[in-house]
Amino acid sequence: MTMTTETKVLDGGLATELDFAGFDINDDPLWSARLLATNSAAIKQVHKSFLTAGSDVIITSTYQASVPGFQEYLGVSVEEAHKLMDHGVRIAKQACQEFCKEQDIGDSPDRRNPLAAGSVGPYGACLHDASEYTGEYVDSMSIEELQRWHRPRLGQLITSGADMVAIETIPALKEAAALVQLLREFPNTRAWVTFSCKDGLHTCHGESFPEALAAVLKSPQVFAAGANCCPPEHVAPLLQKARELCKDPAKFFIAYPNSGEKWAAGTGWHGKADCRPLSSYIPEWLDLGARWIGGCCRTRPDDIKDIRSSIEQWKKTTG
């Protein structure tokens, strides 16, 4: 993997930040995507809060968006569903543009041009039964069925002008492979792929994480791969093992785990007081080859600010 020191800071947990702001979306089958129809200004505000905190790349609110989901839970047409996904990209890009106009961002060219990644979450997320954390659905679906379901959203995000695609929180190699193959229909599109993982070695579905990363990184359209939406303590062992198998110098690792809090059905998130600061993990992840780093569920703008500071300090000490 690359040893370049070029780094980027991702955003934090968009949906959980909306939850902090008082939006009751935790049990919503559309999750943050509902606000594309009901309160897109709130989504833009969260995007901008992460940009202000130091994010170079923000991720659209389309993780749990789908044409069938919008039709079922919003009662809209296919055309209107596509417009909502388009809106998700436009909001993110508007946030980037407004941030650049409003903030004093100095002389760094990267900071003058923040990017918007189109979120492509797993099929299981739209089942609204937590199966994105097991991936069991892939055992009864073909590659073609997975592609047929993902194609409308992926195509719309690309058509709408997302700077790249974030294929994220994927629990199983089979689904990741289906999506990577689907990228060939959009040859000018670049993407990253991140897996949800149940421990320091395996995807949530049970495949070897290093082998899963090596498989998706073979695609010339996939520029980075890694893990997200997992406990932060899993990241280092995951990257350590993957480093032994993934040796393409043109590619790098990406990591954006949860805050470290635990989720329990019925009681929600807990354990904040016991969490090690996310920023304290950053030097080790960078040493292992991670170059794009951020946070997922329950990571907030202050966490992103601290992550950016940790990255900048690492760059100074490593020359």
DSSP state of 197: B
Where would I find the H helices in the chain?
A: 14-20, 35-38, 40-53, 67-74, 78-102, 109-112, 143-159, 173-182, 209-217, 235-243, 282-287, 301-318
d(CA 76, CA 266): 31
**Rounded CA gap, 212 and 235, in Å?**
15
Q: What are the binding residues for Zn(2+)? A: 229, 296-297
Nearest to 11, CA basis, from 109, 98, 115, 86: 115
Look at residue 170 and give its three-state secondary structure. strand
φ, ψ of residue 194 to 5 degrees: the values are -125, 140
User: What's the CA gap between 84 and 78, in Å, rounded?
Assistant: 10
User: For 308, how many CA atoms within 13 A lie in the half-sphere containing its CB?
Assistant: 20
Q: Are 55 and 9 in contact (CB under 8 A)?
A: yes
Owner of token pair 């073909």: 142
Residues with Cβ within 8 Å of 199's Cβ and at least 6 positions away in sequence, in order, are 234
Where is the binding site, in residues? Answer: 229, 296-297
160: CB partners within 8 A, 6+ apart: 85, 86, 88, 89, 90, 118
Backbone angles phi, psi at 228, to 5 degrees: -150, 170
